[in-house]
A and B are shown apart, each in its own frame.
Chain A
Amino acid sequence: MKVQVRNLDNISILDCSGDVDLYSSPRLREALLAEIKADGPSVLVNMSGVPYIDSSGIATLVEGLQLSRQTKTRLGLFGLRPNARSVLELARLHKVFTIFAAEAEALEKIGSTKPFSGL
């Protein structure tokens, strides 16, 4: 699994690719928490390259969400594949996270002044 970070207009975007499981989730955790702590206003996680996520990956996202609430950082996910979305829905987390269909929508809404529902 790889995590690449890019910055667009002060928005950090984490492009994830590969399975997120017990082996790889520490890499996502390190990158995600670092971006949230970096004091930027918004962090987006691009999940379009993630075909599989297990409970350790979900735990990483939840940890990121909790930290983002402390730091007042806007955190959003986009590009979730159907199975990953199903797993989040089963765990009733789809309403806890701010989820966008695609990057364009995420960038458009994260740039607005309206706060995310997840905050």
Chain B
Amino acid sequence: MIRVVMGSEPRLLNILRAVVIFRAQEAGLSYPEAEYLALAIDEAAANVIRHTYGGCHDALLALEVRNLPDRLEFLLEDWGPKVCEDLIHPRPLDDLRPGGLGTFFINSFMDECSYEQDCQEGNRLKLVKFLSRKGDWCNEGSSTQSG
């Protein structure tokens, strides 16, 4: 298990991506596959910085990566206000406008995505990639929730 705690600074997002790529490759994924997972985590962390923390760079966020026999689990934790899941929707792809693709990428590259309900303070987003489904990277139309 790896746990990284860092400031909510956009310039540090490359550290999260490196951790995800390292652990995903350890789990047997190819570099391009690992990059897709890194993109999903990057988008989730960027959402925390932009939306949960409102662009504040003085807060903290944490990423925990668990390599399990059949899956990779990512726990992204923040200490901001509770996220209202009902307000999170990927934008329709036909709607050409800047923004709104982060949630779409998270849902596309992860198999499961949900907020843990027992989190007393802040938010804990759990993202799962099943290793049996590696190579199946496009979960387009997924109805799972994301941050």
Counting chain A residues whose Cβ lies within 8 A of the other chain, the interface size class is: 20 to 34
Please tell me if the beta carbons of B35 and A62 are within 8 angstroms of each other in the complex: no
Q: Is B10 an interface residue (CB 8 A)?
A: yes
Known contacts A22-B46, A90-B108, A92-B93; is-contact A54 B39 (Cβ 8 Å): yes
Known contacts A23-B10, A52-B17, A63-B98; is-contact A87 B50 (Cβ 8 Å): no
Distance between A59 CB and nearest chain B CB, rounded to angstroms: 4
Please tell me if the beta carbons of A22 and B96 are within 8 angstroms of each other in the complex: no
Distance between A77 CB and nearest chain B CB, rounded to angstroms: 15
Q: Is the interface of A mostly helix, strand, loop or mixed?
A: helix
| A 83-114 to B, binary, CB cutoff 8 A, 1 in contact else 0 | 10011001110001000000000000000000
Distance between A109 CB and nearest chain B CB, rounded to angstroms: 22
Give chain B's interface residues, CB within 8 Å of chain A: 9-11, 13-14, 17, 32, 35-36, 38-39, 42-43, 46, 49-50, 93-94, 96-102, 104-105, 108, 138, 140
Give chain A's interface residues, CB within 8 Å of chain B: 19, 21-23, 52, 54-56, 58-60, 62-63, 65-66, 82-83, 86-87, 90-92, 96
Query: With contacts A21-B42, A54-B46 known, what are 14 further pairs, Cβ within 8 A?
Result: A22-B46, A23-B9, A52-B17, A52-B38, A54-B43, A55-B100, A59-B98, A59-B99, A59-B101, A65-B96, A82-B32, A83-B36, A87-B39, A96-B96
